Amino acid sequence: MEDTARPTIMITNDDGIDAPGLQALVRVLVSTNRYRVWVCAPDSEKSAVSHSITWLHAISAKRADISGATAFAVSGTPADCTSLGISKALFPSVPDLVLSGINMGSNCGYHIVYSGTVAGAREAFLYDVPSVSMSYDWVGGTSSINDFTLAAEACLPIINAILVEIKNKTYPQKCFLNVDLPTNIPKHKASCIHSCKNSNKLYVFLSGHMLSTMTNDPISVASKTDAKAVSQDNLLFKREVKAGQVENGETDYAFLKEGYITVTALGALSHADMNCQTYFREWLPAVAEHTSSSAFLTQSLCSFGQAHSANFYQFLIW
């Protein structure tokens, strides 16, 4: 089969180009001999960078040796990698499909906001390129590197089905997919793939303990009674992850923990709760009316610029 006749899949991630999840995904895709595989991934760990991009300086791309694929290690973020990879500056054409992952750790609920893996897929979606982010629910002491190969193999039916839809021009353009695979992939539920909604409560990142600058051990600011001494310290803090309230029902997290592969359709932006939209639709006109009758606020707006303030309220009310 001619290489150009095969669909092209570009892979990125946020764990770095040497991460076992990406390496396993490339290996499984190449072994099928059905795809042309490109890799454009960060040259180092870029987890939890969300959708950040490199703006103030150039990024570098260096050839990487991954058997069966054309690969580049990039000095930027996952979003940078996707943007570069689909730009035709690095590869000869736009890929048919962008895959981001396989991430070490699930990406459910609010994690999709922090996730560089999800951002790698979202960036492709912003440019109308079909994309999927993929994550494995890694559990320390239970999971092994070999599980990434099982995860990649479990994703093949989804990948193949998407490419068929793309070829038939029936794949939807207004979303991208976020796939999470359960910890015990060999024993996932018989009805293995669940379409679900994204949980809006999961884990909350909280500021953790202050660390001693001498020993890096946790200490308490409250234990320091001398406020001047505290203010002069170089205070170090380390994040800790605490479980928040988890929603019941048909959410990605709930199904994932039941042992299903979950598939969630995402957009670039999420709309506010309908109750909030209704509230502000009724509230903003009153604010605008009050502002126009207040000399102080009117002067403030005039100093900002009448055209700007008019556009501001038009934007809010819209």
Assign 203 to helix, strand or coil. strand
Domains along the chain? Answer: 3-197+249-266 (3.40.1210.10), 203-243 (no CATH), 274-317 (no CATH)
pLDDT tens column, 153-166 = 999 999 999 999 99
Among candidates 117, 155, 146, 165, which has minimal Cα distance to 29?
A: 155
Q: Write down the residue that tokens 């359960």 correspond to.
A: 182
Backbone angles phi, psi at 316, to 5 degrees: -65, -45
pLDDT tens column, 154-201 = 999 999 999 999 999 999 988 999 999 999 988 765 444 545 555 554
| Pair of tokens at residue 25 | 């995904």
Residue 112 near residue 198 (C-beta atoms within 8 A)? yes
Helix (H) / strand (E) containing 163:
helix 146-167
State the Cα–Cα distance between residues 138 and 305, nearest whole angstrom: 53
One-letter identity of residue 8:
T
State the Cα–Cα distance between residues 117 and 108, nearest whole angstrom: 12
Tell me the C-alpha to C-alpha distance, in Å, between residue 268 and each of 112, 119, 165, 175, 226: 11, 9, 21, 8, 48
pLDDT tens column, 124-133 = 999 999 999 9
What's 186's DSSP letter?
G
- Cis amide leading into 102 (omega within 30): yes
Task: Give the pLDDT of residue 30.
Answer: 98
Which has the higher per-residue pLDDT, 119 or 229?
Answer: 119
